Structure 1
Amino acid sequence: MFDWENLRHFLAVGRAGTLSGAARSLRVDHATVSRRLAALEDELKVALVERLPRACRLTPAGIQVFEQAKAMEAAAFAVERHTRASQAPLSGKVTLSAPPVLVTHFLATRLADFQTAYPGIQLSITAEARQVSLTRREADVALRLVRPKESSNVIRRIGRMPFALYASRRYSALSEPSRWTFIAYDEQFADMPQQQWLLNIAGQRPVSCELSDISSHLIAARAGAGVAGLPCFLGDTDKQLVRVDDQGAPFARDIWLVTHRDLRRSETVRAVMDYLSEAFRSDTAFGEAG
């Protein structure tokens, strides 16, 4: 019988297309993935992957094993979810994936309150810009800024996150919109809605710097590096910033709460989801959930 861990590493290689990509997804080093892959090929007595200079390509046998392995993985996760859903109520660990800005500036400030309300639940929060797979149990619950499309998930819209333009009160061009420069995202986030909104407002005016996350935009704006498009719950409460108006179109991101349908009856998961729903609904900065 082959080692399941070896098969799990092979699945990661098949999904990522490279050993380094698989290593990042599994949070291990490149050598571990290579060793696990070689061990699986030795166990099965067949070549599964063709190692190319910059990629890994599945062999015909590898494609067949990959499809079968995905089905095995799905079945294993289904068993785990069903077991999790039948656990004793209000006791255990719940993993939550959420956008970094919400983790750092909203959720982290409410952990003490959550612990008081649910002392038996250990909430494990990961700040991730990517959309994790709930089917593969990468998280029990997720907050997303894009409406989830997976048919296996249960979703709920719990609020809206409005954006506006902000600059330091000491920004040298504060009273001269024609001289504004803008703080934007780098090119990997070119398709992000708030990036497109900001660049549309900027028009022909220059981008002074590019940063990859909202927390960095906040700090750069405080330092007077330019005008930033920030969530209003951040900008409006920062005494070093002032909201500026450039007659741009209003912009907001919906906030979606999602879990796998197999976990919707888990008392611990429901407790976390209900707490999050109420936290956003009771904060006027996030508007009406609808």
Structure 2
Amino acid sequence: MAVKLQLEWRLLQTGNAKMQINWNDLKFLLALARAGKVADVARETGVDSTTVTRRIKALEQALQCQLFKRIDNRYLPTEALQQALRNAEQAEREIGLMTQRLTQQDAHLRGRVRITSVHTFINSYLLPRLSDFYERYPDIELEIIADSSQLDLGRHEADLAIRMGRPGQQSIVTRRLTELHYSVYAHTRLADQGRELSGLPWILFEERYSSLPEAQWQQQQVPEAQACLYCNVGLAMLNAVKSGLGVACIPCYMGQPEPELVALVPPFSLRELWVLMHPEKRNLARVRAFLDWLEQQVNADQALFLGQAEDTIDGT
């Protein structure tokens, strides 16, 4: 009787960190108690028989008690386990109920999604299209964080990050959205002057951003470019080009929609647009809803991102 009570108490106390009991091991315990055969449990759970026996042994070690007797190739619960099974079954029901409630709450597509990206993408592309998202998902709140620094998805500083380049983190779920094509844009007044690229005033990134792909392209293709203005934000460069101050290498999705701007060279591939998320976030319905919507928008705007709908000043 003392053994029964001891095991029953331990099963009740599985939330205690000192016991170090894996809740997943309880699933194997219940399945084996019901089926009696390791092979049946392996088929039910989708693992091999070795994994099943290993999980049962781990649970016996954690509980410091024998749980099954093996008789004629069947695993029968010991007397102690038979008495304690009701506690394991109660834990199974509670976990199932909790999971169901959380799933149902998430399935309602409500709650907040935190999204981070650079200022240029948020202001030039994302924000003008969000009304469509809210029409589809009125109960989802979006928190937009415009920041060039990379927030830590591992620390849940954001649910999704939209980045202008292939990420290097191995523990982050990534998805490529599209290529990003660039061109050199100028105001029509400046373009009509017919000067070579090297003879036009340039709006460049300040020196600390000289490693950016667009800055590298300018240094290689137009090394003799004369700067009239230095900026640290792409959106400022766009506005400077729109004012007629000079030309700049900017993404087609930013330059193409501006009616007063013209591309001076054929669009060229320079970056890629990626979305990143923490593995724990990808199964949240509200996060999936935003990601699916974003992919639909980007796919519909391929001509915009690739600069395919525009003519350059030389007619190509």
CA contact (8 A) 2:117 2:147 kept: yes
Give the Å deviation of 1:242: 1.4
Find the counterpart in structure 1 of residue 150 from structure 2.
131
Pair 1:149 & 2:186 matched: no
Following the alignment from structure 2 to structure 1, what is the Cα–Cα distance between the partners of residues 280 and 163? 19
Find the counterpart in structure 2 of residue 108 from structure 1.
127
Find the counterpart in structure 1 of residue 289 from structure 2.
271
Larger radius of gyration: 2
Alignment RMSD: 2.1
Pair 1:160 & 2:179 matched: yes
Give the Å deviation of 1:190: 1.4
CA contact (8 A) 1:161 1:285 kept: no
Following the alignment from structure 1 to structure 2, what is the Cα–Cα distance between the partners of residues 140 and 174? 47
Give the Å deviation of 1:201: 2.2
CA contact (8 A) 1:146 1:254 kept: yes
Find the counterpart in structure 2 of residue 183 from structure 1.
203
Structure 2 counterpart SS, 1:152: coil
CA contact (8 A) 2:256 2:304 kept: no
Find the counterpart in structure 2 of residue 257 from structure 1.
275
Structure 1 counterpart SS, 2:156: coil
Pair 1:241 & 2:275 matched: no
TM-score by length of 1: 0.66
Structure 2 counterpart SS, 1:88: helix
Following the alignment from structure 2 to structure 1, what is the Cα–Cα distance between the partners of residues 272 and 256? 19
Give the Å deviation of 1:173: 7.5
Structure 2 counterpart SS, 1:148: coil
Which portions of structure 1, spanning 4 or more consecutive aligned residues, are displaced by more than 4 angstroms? none
Give the Å deviation of 1:159: 1.0
The letter of the residue matching 1:275 is W
Work out which of the residue numbers 231, 242, 250 in structure 2 matches 1:211: 231
Work out which of the residue numbers 209, 230, 233 in structure 1 matches 2:250: 230
Stretches of structure 1 that go unaligned for 5 or more consecutive residues are 1-81
Give the Å deviation of 1:241: 1.2
Give the Å deviation of 1:199: 2.3
Give the Å deviation of 1:181: 2.1
Give the Å deviation of 1:263: 1.2
Give the Å deviation of 1:153: 1.1
Higher relative contact order (CA 8 A, sep 6+): 1
Give the Å deviation of 1:279: 0.9
Following the alignment from structure 2 to structure 1, what is the Cα–Cα distance between the partners of residues 139 and 191? 51
Give the Å deviation of 1:99: 1.5
Structure 1 counterpart SS, 2:189: coil
Stretches of structure 2 that go unaligned for 5 or more consecutive residues are 1-98, 308-316
Work out which of the residue numbers 215, 237, 241 in structure 2 matches 1:221: 241
CA contact (8 A) 1:186 1:211 kept: yes
